[in-house]
Amino acid sequence: MDMKIRPRRLRTKETLRKMVRETRVDKASLIYPMFVIEGEGIRQEIPSMEGQYRYSVDKMSYELEKLSQAGVSSVMLFGIPSEKDACGSQAYAQDGIVQKALREAKRQFPNLYYITDVCLCEYTSHGHCGLLKGDYVDNDPTVELLAKTAVSHVQAGADMVAPSDMMDGRIMGMRQALDDNGFVETPIMSYAVKYASAFYGPFREAAGSEPSFGDRKSYQMDFHNRKEGLKEAVLDIEEGADIIMVKPALSYLDIIREVADLVDVPVAAYSVSGEYAMVKAAAKMGYIDEARIICEMAVSTFRAGCGIYLTYFAKELANYIDEGRIG
């Protein structure tokens, strides 16, 4: 056959295939979500997320040490308080669970980078992400409490804050509050494009954040919508967001691509609890090759335009990078 162009030439050797890769995954791009809980001596496996745990502050070092050894340098903390109330006051309490966890983590592992989820759903007695006015989440008063929470996290040692509530104007309120308190250099990673997704189910068990009534569709986005996600991303950047997140990842690769093409800030994607649980369940049944699926999911997200990847498989991916399976 007389062919001058043969694409297979660049697939003949593993070294060559790696040389010409268009998409690369780096350990520095990985963020590990971690659950911290009030109490002592707790390392409690999450039933719907096999291999994931809730840690009390005195047991965090077990996981932080493994992350550090694997080369995963960034952690996202989610707090589970012992007490909840209608206004989620433990979210912004100086002795709240995330605040205590930050102080201890910073003391033991100062070289890790700590990001905190800023929301009220884990802390409110009704499980919604803000203050209620009847059965409706009242936007503007909620923004004030979210800003207060962000400041308290940074005061306790957070390197970055990541609001996940989806209230209108929360980035502007948070940026102003951080600046007013002298935290001008603290970046905000906004859950800007967050869909009302069934993929969050295991997380809500893990964090104890299931709404006591209704759902979150009045503030999280309708998964039918594409342009709305782009609008949310642009609005949050205008309000001061430094990084834009798309959540979930796997079913929203088209949105990741469009957001990445549109904005001039880094784009993150969160491979959420439902994605993790599906992989673990299918692997346990022997239906899939777990390692290959984990790698393929990650690469697909980066290929779509993501530059930062939040995943419960962060340690595994770091090891796969070392082994040359991905990179």
User: Would you name the residues annotated as active-site residues?
Assistant: 194, 247
- Distance, CA of 78 to CA of 84 (rounded, Å): 15
- Distance, CA of 196 to CA of 77 (rounded, Å): 21
Chain mean position to CA 61: 20
- Distance, CA of 302 to CA of 297 (rounded, Å): 9
- Distance, CA of 73 to CA of 113 (rounded, Å): 6
Query: CA triplet 325, 301, 260: central angle to 5 degrees?
Result: 135
- Sign, CA dihedral 314-320-322-324, equals negative
Residues 6+ apart with CB under 8 A from 70: 27, 314, 315, 318, 319
- Contacts made by residues 23-28, CB under 8 angstroms, sequence distance 24+: 23/299, 23/302, 23/303, 24/302, 24/327, 25/298, 25/299, 25/302, 25/309, 25/317, 25/321, 25/326, 25/327, 26/321, 26/327, 27/70, 27/71, 27/72, 27/73, 27/317, 27/318, 27/321, 28/73
Strands (E), 100-238: 113-118, 132-133, 136-137, 160-163, 189-194
Q: What are the beta bridge partners of residue 195?
A: 221
If DSSP codes are grouped into helix, strand and coil, which group holds residue 313? coil
- Distance, CA of 105 to CA of 87 (rounded, Å): 27
